Amino acid sequence: MTNKINIQVKIGKLILKNPVMTASGTFGYGLEFEKFFDLGKLGAIITKGLSLNPVKGNPPQRIVETPAGMLNAIGLQNIGIKNFISEKLPLLKKYKTPIIVNVYGRKVDEYIEVADILNDTDVAGIELNISCPNVKRGGLQFAADKKAVEKIINRIRKKYKKTIIVKLSPNTGNIEDMAIHCERCGADAVSLINTIVGMAIDIKTKKPVLANVFGGLSGPAIKPIALAAVFKVSKKVKIPVIGVGGIMNYKDALEFMMAGATAVQIGTANFIDPLTCVKVIKDLQYYLKENKIYDINKIIGAIKLE
């Protein structure tokens, strides 16, 4: 019976074998998890954020556990796009799983250049992290600057023919308006939400626990916020919405899909149990079988309001 159940979903030009993706920043470059399970079972692998040049990231302490979540202030540490292509991508190619690179920059031109470098590689798509501070605008997040986002998407779209996903921030403005704007500019899909700004204080030293003071809150604590955002945005755009934020099991994944998500990204849960993604895939299949649902796409937006 399981073989007759369709769990494929479509994101832009990509046909994913299932709707379970990894969330950027929580799965390394993908290879870190290959000792735990076959990466070919995933719907897609989204790498940690990659920039034009290598970035060392913030000084420690960079991670702190919180009730029902965690704060991170890694600072987008990465090896740079060219090193990724030469060192990591060849090793990922053996898996029949789309590789999506999370892209970020400090200036508009940096986004464009990274996307241009990826154009002729085996990378299946890009996810634009617009939660970064724009150095030309005094640190204002790109996610709060529609003109900058428009310039990024339009310029990439002219050259980049593969799938473009834009990851939206809950920390700036109206996330629904930004999703609509991204769709108009040519994005193939939006993923939401990125982490929420938070902090922690050591009451003994009276100092912030994180060296960076602020960090990004993720995990179950943000799930209700992410779920509401997915529901609202999915009603406003026609492009696929990818849900991310506090997904720990198949029940969480189903909630996001019923709220309107075409696919989901699993993040913080990977730190707790590296097998979370494959467990969710398996449990989703069992749920569909038990409920005699033969196409997972029928779950998308199935929420009943009356």
Range of the domain at 90: 2-57+76-196+217-298
pLDDT tens, 281-303? 999 999 999 999 999 999 999 99
- Asked if the structure places residue 7 within a domain, the reply is yes
- Asked if the structure places residue 224 within a domain, the reply is yes
Euclidean distance between CA atoms 265 and 43, whole angstroms: 10
- Asked if the structure places residue 303 within a domain, the reply is no
pLDDT tens, 192-205? 999 999 999 999 99
- HSE-CB of 7 using CA atoms within 13 angstroms: 23
pLDDT the model gives residue 1: 41
Q: For position 186, which CATH number holds?
A: 3.20.20.70
Strand 99-103 relative to strand 45-46: parallel, antiparallel, unpaired? parallel
Euclidean distance between CA atoms 152 and 189, whole angstroms: 15
Rg (C-alpha) for the chain, rounded Å, is: 18
- Asked if the structure places residue 201 within a domain, the reply is no
Q: How confident is the model at residue 17 (pLDDT cuts 50, 70, 90)?
A: very high
Peptide bond into 61 cis (omega under 30): yes
Q: Is 132 a catalytic residue?
A: yes
Candidates 132, 182, 185, 277; catalytic one: 132
- Asked if the structure places residue 63 within a domain, the reply is no
Kindly tell me if the per-residue pLDDT of 31 is higher than 60: yes
Count of domains forming the chain? 1
The pair of structure tokens assigned to 35 is 């000792």
pLDDT the model gives residue 173: 79
Kindly tell me if the per-residue pLDDT of 210 is higher than 60: yes
- Asked if the structure places residue 281 within a domain, the reply is yes
- Asked if the structure places residue 70 within a domain, the reply is no
The pair of structure tokens assigned to 11 is 């994101």
pLDDT tens, 149-184? 999 999 999 989 999 999 999 988 799 999 999 999
- Asked if the structure places residue 188 within a domain, the reply is yes
Q: H/E/C letters for each residue in the chain?
A: CHHHCECCEEECCEEECCCEEECCCCCCCCHHHCCCCCHHHCCEEECCCECCCCECCCCCCCEEEECCEEEECCCCCECCHHHHHHHHHHHHCCCCCCEEEEECCCCHHHHHHHHHHHCCCCCCEEEEECCCECHHHCCCEHHHCHHHHHHHHHHHHHHCCCEEEEECCCCCCCHHHHHHHHHHHCCCEEEECCCEEEECEECCCCEECCCCCEEEEECHHHHHHHHHHHHHHHCCCCCCEEEECCCCCHHHHHHHHHHCCCEEEECCHHHHCCCHHHHHHHHHHHHHHHCCCCEHHHCCCCCCCC
The pair of structure tokens assigned to 77 is 């540490």
The pair of structure tokens assigned to 3 is 């073989």
pLDDT the model gives residue 230: 98
